[in-house]
Amino acid sequence: MIARYLQARVKSFGYAFNGLKVLLLTQPHARLHALSTIAVLTLGTALQLRRWEWVAILLCIGMVWMAEALNTALEFLADEVSLEKRERIGKAKDVAAGGVLITAMISVVVAVLVFWQHLRP
């Protein structure tokens, strides 16, 4: 019984990693987020951010990735329902994309607040 439970958990991680693979292979913005993530982590390491700064940065990174993943999932589901242009599906996609934009913009503001004090002359 425990072995089945553990197998199911391992399998669920496989699905999650496959989802990340799909996200990166199919979404140009996800690849942009990946490059941004690497750049921010590299800069943060070089500047030796304090613990609270890392918390802020990592929360923002996680929120942007989550928003992008949920937006992509919604788009895949909407396209499965109908590939023809439908007003409410278009609105749903736009709202989800807006959520990603909001999260990304707030993350940029947080990054500026965190990094500015380390980079200013």
- The structural domains of the chain, ordered by start, are 28-119 (1.10.287.3610)
Non-local (6+) Cβ contacts of 60 within 8 A are 103, 106, 107, 110, 111
pTM: 0.90
Q: Is 97 exposed, middle or buried (0-12, 13-18, 19+ CB in 10 A)?
A: middle
Q: Residue 21 and residue 19: Cα distance in Å, rounded?
A: 5
Q: Which of 68, 80, 84, 87 is catalytic?
A: 68
Over residues 107-117, the pLDDT tens digits come to 999 999 999 99
Over residues 23-76, the pLDDT tens digits come to 999 999 999 999 999 999 999 999 999 999 999 999 999 999 999 999 999 999
107: DSSP letter: H
68 is catalytic: yes
Count of CB atoms situated within 10 Å of the CB of 49? 20
